[in-house]
Structure 1
């Protein structure tokens, strides 16, 4: 069974980004997370990460639709 919550490092590894990028996404509210324990360690629910990824796919698809490649001359 897959763990429900992931550490910030787990998320960084999963997204192939730096740990500082994950902290920025969490602190800015872009990626939902919770603080747990006496030392307030961040945890991201796997389902929330999957929602985030799906949202990024939709956002990227929209960007591609509105920014098509047009008659580029690659020579």
Structure 2
């Protein structure tokens, strides 16, 4: 018998509190991401509690990494076009 994968133990959906733990943010910040639609989630059950699908959370994380890479590349290219920085100190 093999040990269960960690994702098998958690299940397909996460509560907003569990999502906050994964992202290492407060529950308030996680709720804000969900309510704004930035992090896709669904409401389930009679209490209409928010649930975040694991695959959506992973996609969100990957999208944030990609956004950070693009911002870093843009910042580097912005400075690359300044002649004074490319050629060293002015004489």
Same fold (TM over 0.5): yes
Name the SS for the 1:31 alignment partner.
Answer: coil
1:28-43 counterparts in 2 under 5 A?
28-43=36-51
Q: With the length of structure 1 as denominator, give the TM-score of the two structures.
A: 0.88
In structure 1, distance between residues paired with 2:35 and 2:61 = 17
* 5+ residue gaps, structure 2: 1-7, 80-84, 86-91
In structure 2, distance between residues paired with 1:16 and 1:27 = 18
**Root-mean-square deviation over aligned CA pairs:** 1.2
Name the SS for the 1:57 alignment partner.
Answer: helix
What's the CA shift for 1:59? 0.2
Greater relative contact order (Cα < 8 A, sep 6+): 1
Matched, 1:48 2:59: no
1:1-75 counterparts in 2 under 5 A?
1-2=8-9, 3-68=11-76
Spell out structure 1 runs of 4+ moving beyond 6 A. Answer: none
Count of aligned positions: 70
